[in-house]
Amino acid sequence: MSGETLLAAGYVTVLLLVVIGLDVYGRQSTGAWESRIFTGYHRVVEQAPVRADPDAWPHSEVHRFHRAVSLFVSVVALVLTGAEAVRHHAPAEVALLVAVAVPHGVLLALLGRRLRAARVAPPG
């Protein structure tokens, strides 16, 4: 097994951790109404503003951005493993590359479905 294949497999595994980290980070709420500071303010002040509709402007599309970046990183990982499989096509090397590429393919399908299903509420 060549060192280049091992290096590519390791790099694709690191990219898998990046994809998972970006997706988890993108799931965090960025709304002002969910902030702990505003919650404390709402408890202390008697005439605090009434909670707004979550669909009202301003809204955040941070979760869509992180999901799109995650999709791009997964595509890069799949292209890298495909290129390595073309360059080094011994059975053991191809098996290793397929083993590190399958999670990216699964995440690509899952994140793509979630990105398409996410509702877009433009301001206005």
C-alpha to C-alpha distance for 13 and 66, rounded to whole angstroms: 19
pTM over 0.85: no
Task: Report pLDDT digits (tens) over 24-42.
Answer: 888 877 666 666 666 677 7
C-alpha to C-alpha distance for 56 and 5, rounded to whole angstroms: 50
Structure tokens at 61: 């599309």
C-alpha to C-alpha distance for 12 and 14, rounded to whole angstroms: 5
Task: Report pLDDT digits (tens) over 79-106.
Answer: 999 999 999 889 999 999 999 999 999 9
